[in-house]
Amino acid sequence: MSNLSNYKVLSKIGEGTYGVVYKAESLTSEGPDEIAHDLVAMKKIRLSDHQEGVPVTTLREVALLKQLCHPNIVRLRDIIPSSPKLYLVFDFMDLDLKQCMDSRFCDGMPDEYIKSCMEQILRGVDFCHSNDVLHRDLKPQNVLIDREGRVKLADFGLARAFHSNKIYTHEVVTLWYRAPELLLGQEKYTAAVDIWSVGCIFAELACRKPLFPGDSEIDELFKIFKCLGTPDEAVWPGVGSLPWYQDQFPRWSTKEIGAEVAMMSEEAVGLLQRLLVYEPCQRLKAEDALESPYFDAVRGKDVLLSLDDYKLAADNFSPASEPPTQSTVSDDIQPVHVRSTTLQPEQLQLDIENRQTKKRKVSK
Ligand code: Z3R
């Protein structure tokens, strides 16, 4: 563990479920006169006001997450307790999948990229599930992409570490990726909740629109029911006993999801259908999903989503470049430098030149 003085906060990246995320520089000494400037993402988590110090159980949970090392999981580098806050320091990633879909790929992501992205997401999920770590809130905002096009998942294990339903920021909680068992109040949930989210992300990548964009818990449930049919004991044994299930729910008939996602290939729909199964224990496991024929074309290949051409467009409106907004949570760290919202022509030219130099170096 280090302390806050090892980092220089540059800008606010966004607000997540557990707190505000900043882009920062890690200032590590590399010798008597040299300091390495390394980009990081710092998540400021506000803990309960009633507690003194950071609970040992929380620190233990978070310390375990530091050991969760995998190419498709964002690395937790550092943990800084600063009661009543806790700072988590992660490797910096260039953008998230939501940004990626909204800007670089607003006209749709090429099929090969969708496959690569899905494969990397499932590899990360499989690794965490094999280590008994669940996410519970997978969504495009915590699927992160770096410059080389590597996909890494953020926030795995945080739901258990901070098991609180309280949202500490202005973030509007998205229900679009939430599994039906959670929406129906099941308390003992399993890894299958993440598989449902992966299915929703998959459909959104392919169809360029969210599959179940509910604006309340009941609207979310009804959007799912309208598409897949209202679940009953025949398709989901035990559903009637879930806390928030009601016999008065409207009864929509069972439908095939294929009609809803007409632009997906037969193999893609085959996989999607097995990810979006109502009964959690019948839902595909991440490990088995990776064996789907859908992935045959990329199996063993390293197809990456290069962000080379993306960067210029993204810098113009990425939330990472927006000035920080006022938060109700008192901020004791403030960005020391905020980039302008638009890139100046000379910066653009410099960026292109840097890129060309880099490409020439690489091709030698
Ligand atoms: C770790 C944990 C959460 C986040 C990390 C790293 N990086 C994030 S969120 C991020 C998000 C963008 S850039 C970096 S965005 O501008 O695309 N929203």
Is the minimum distance from the CB of 41 to ligand 1 under 6 angstroms? Answer: yes
User: What does the pLDDT read at residue 169?
Assistant: 62
Residues 229 and 182 both lie in one domain: yes
**8 Å CB contact between 279 and 236:** yes
Residues 86 and 100 both lie in one domain: no
Residues 28 and 152 both lie in one domain: no
Interval 101-126: pLDDT, tens: 888 777 778 888 899 999 999 999 99
Residues 298 and 222 both lie in one domain: yes
Among 7, 15, 21, the mutation site with the greatest number of ligand 1 atoms within 8 A of its Cβ is 21
Give me the DSSP letters along 205-233: HHHSS-SS--SSHHHHHHHHHHHH----T
Among 94, 104, 144, 156, the mutation site with the greatest number of ligand 1 atoms within 8 A of its Cβ is 144
User: What does the pLDDT read at residue 56?
Assistant: 87
Has residue 161 been placed in a domain? yes
Pull the structure tokens for residue 306.
């290069």
* d(CA 152, ligand 1 centre) in Å: 10
User: What does the pLDDT read at residue 91?
Assistant: 95
Give me the DSSP letters along 7-64: EEEEEEEEE-SSEEEEEEEEEEE-SSS-EEEEEEEEEEEE--TTSSS--HHHHHHHHH
Catalytic residue from among 91, 94, 126, 137: 137
Has residue 167 been placed in a domain? yes
User: Which is nearest to 228 in space by CA: 209, 200, 205, 207?
Assistant: 200
Dihedral, 257, 260, 262, 263 alpha carbons, nearest 10: -100
Boundary of a domain, candidates 91, 116, 150:
91
The position carrying tokens 């949930």 is 189
Residues 180 and 285 both lie in one domain: yes
Is the minimum distance from the CB of 13 to ligand 1 under 6 angstroms? Answer: yes
Phi-psi region of 252 (alpha: psi -120 to 50; beta: other; left: phi over 0): beta
* d(CA 73, ligand 1 centre) in Å: 13
Is the minimum distance from the CB of 99 to ligand 1 under 6 angstroms? Answer: yes
d(CA 125, CA 287): 9
Residues 75 and 168 both lie in one domain: no
Across 333-364, b (16+ Cβ under 10 Å) vs e yields bebeeebeeebeeeeeeeeeeeeeeeeeeeee
Is the minimum distance from the CB of 320 to ligand 1 under 6 angstroms? Answer: yes
* d(CA 281, ligand 1 centre) in Å: 32
For residue 141, the surrounding DSSP H or E stretch is none
* d(CA 324, ligand 1 centre) in Å: 15
Is the minimum distance from the CB of 318 to ligand 1 under 6 angstroms? Answer: yes
Residues 114 and 42 both lie in one domain: no
Residues 159 and 22 both lie in one domain: no
Cβ-in-10-Å burial (0-12, 13-18, 19+) of 262 comes to: exposed
Kindly report the pTM of this predicted structure: 0.84
Interval 39-62: pLDDT, tens: 999 999 988 766 677 888 889 999
Pull the structure tokens for residue 285.
């496991």
* d(CA 230, ligand 1 centre) in Å: 36
Residues 102 and 82 both lie in one domain: no
Residues 137 and 283 both lie in one domain: yes
* d(CA 355, ligand 1 centre) in Å: 22
**N-terminal to C-terminal alpha carbon distance within the chain:** 41
Is the minimum distance from the CB of 144 to ligand 1 under 6 angstroms? Answer: yes
**8 Å CB contact between 63 and 54:** no
Residues 23 and 104 both lie in one domain: no
Q: Which atom of ligand 1 is nearest to the CA of 141?
A: 18
How many structural domains does the chain have? 2
Tell me which residue range forms the domain holding 77. 4-91
Boundary of a domain, candidates 58, 73, 91:
91
Is the minimum distance from the CB of 79 to ligand 1 under 6 angstroms? Answer: no
Residues 286 and 209 both lie in one domain: yes
Residue spans of the chain under pLDDT 50: 310-331, 336-364
User: What does the pLDDT read at residue 305?
Assistant: 64
Is the minimum distance from the CB of 20 to ligand 1 under 6 angstroms? Answer: no
User: Which is nearest to 311 in space by CA: 165, 193, 161, 149?
Assistant: 149
Is the minimum distance from the CB of 88 to ligand 1 under 6 angstroms? Answer: no
* 155 is known as an active-site residue: no
User: What does the pLDDT read at residue 362?
Assistant: 33
Domain of 262: which CATH number? 1.10.510.10
- Considering only CA atoms, which residue is closest to atom 12 of ligand 1? 95
Cβ-in-10-Å burial (0-12, 13-18, 19+) of 259 comes to: exposed
Has residue 195 been placed in a domain? yes
User: What does the pLDDT read at residue 361?
Assistant: 35
Report, in angstroms and rounded to the nearest whole number, the Rg of the chain calculated over CA atoms: 21
